[in-house]
Each structure stands twice: as structure tokens, then as C-alpha cells.
Amino acid sequence: MYRPGQTLSRFITCDVRRDIKILSIDAIDNGEFIGQLRTNNVLYIIKGLAKESAFSEPVTLNIKTMWNWTGAGWGGLPDGSSLAQRLLDDSK
């Protein structure tokens, strides 16, 4: 299932898709691999409110936690904030 060069994608909460590019599976027996992450709110991208982010620098990922979402259940941004709220704040 995990092969170097493969990109895995999954919606991890409402409107938020995470892509994981697998770089190395040398530690896969320990439940870890080296990969790059990209997490985007696809609704924001479709509406032109945000651009698709680039993949992160390589990081060690754990298979058990690689799909964990740190934001709010309704989507938003990975830090739990809302792009809509940021736009409102910036317009004041």
C-alpha cells in the first residue's frame, strides 16, 4: 500500500483534504515513513479564497496519526481558524 513516489489523499474533515507524498518507507515496520504533507480546504480553493498549498518539507509520519485533523470539525484551516473570519478582520 505504501510505495515511494505514491501520493495518498483523504478528506480528513468537512471540505479539508490532506495529500501525503511518500518519500521513503525504510521504517515502515515501525509504523513510520518519510513523506511530505499538503492540507487544503478545497471549498476555499474552488471559491478562489485560497490557493492550493505546496507540499511541506519531508517529515517522519506515523501511520496511526497521519490523518489526524487539528482544526475544527466544520473544516476551516489547520490551525482551527476561519478564513472567513480573517477576511472580515482584515476588512476593518
Would you list the domain boundaries of the chain? Answer: 7-91
Q: Summarize pLDDT for 6-50 with one digit per residue, the tens.
A: 999 999 988 889 999 999 999 999 999 999 999 888 988 898 878
Q: What is the mean pLDDT of residues 50-74?
A: 88
User: Which pLDDT band holds residue 59 (cuts at 50, 70, 90)?
Assistant: very high
C-alpha cell, 52: 492550493
Residues ≥6 apart with Cβ < 8 Å to 48: none
- Is the model's pLDDT at 89 over the cut of 90? no
Evaluate whether 68 touches 39 at the Cβ level (below 8 Å): no
Evaluate whether 54 touches 37 at the Cβ level (below 8 Å): no
Residue 41 burial (C-beta neighbours within 10 Å; 0-12, 13-18, 19+): buried
